Amino acid sequence: MSKLTHLDEKGEARMVDVTEKAVTEREARAEATVRMLPETLRMIVDGEHPKGDVLATARIAGIMAAKKTHDLIPLCHALNLTSTKVLLSAGADGASVHIETRCKLSGQTGVEMEALTAASVAALTLYDMCKAVDKGMVVDNVRLLEKKGGRSGHWLAETTPS
């Protein structure tokens, strides 16, 4: 196991110095799932939710969150993202929304936290918009799917939970 990079030689928290790292193309994908009652999903898909377009609002929230990750997660670098995508789709089970995010940049540090933050905030926004009609929703399976670029290269999750 590699050592924790956010700790200095004394074990104190620090922001990692990326000054000497090469600028490379970097990309990360993450996912989240929001499980809900079938009726809640029907309202979302049919555009009948009283709060409006739930999926569009969650998409925008995810994009905005990726851009603000450094304000939310201590020790994250402020990154100049060149692309952020948030895709939301009705689950095949008829009772969930699947969220997949992708963040890209050319830079000195990775974008895993931005992709994870985008997925998490999109899921929380969906929950917030729908909680009045379905308090039992569950945000589930928030995880990194893939990362590319940088010294550690390409990493891909071994399995995808449903």
DSSP, res 23: P
The number of residues making up the chain comes to 162
Instruction: Quick: pLDDT tens for 6-55.
Output: 666 777 777 777 777 778 899 999 999 999 999 999 999 999 888 889 99
Ranges of each domain in the chain: 33-149
114 assigned ligand-binding residue: yes
Quickly name the fold that domain 33-149 has: Alpha-Beta Plaits (3.30.70)
pTM of the entire predicted model: 0.89
77 assigned ligand-binding residue: yes
Q: Give the residue numbers annotated as catalytic, written as ranges.
A: 128
What are residue 24's phi and psi, to 5 degrees? Answer: -135, 165
Cα separation, 51 vs 132, in Å, equals 10
Helix (H, G, I), strand (E, B) or coil at 84: strand
75 assigned ligand-binding residue: yes
Cα separation, 110 vs 77, in Å, equals 9
The mean pLDDT of 111-126, rounded to a whole number, is 97
pLDDT of residue 1: 46
Instruction: Quick: pLDDT tens for 51-84.
Output: 889 999 999 999 999 999 999 988 888 999 999 9
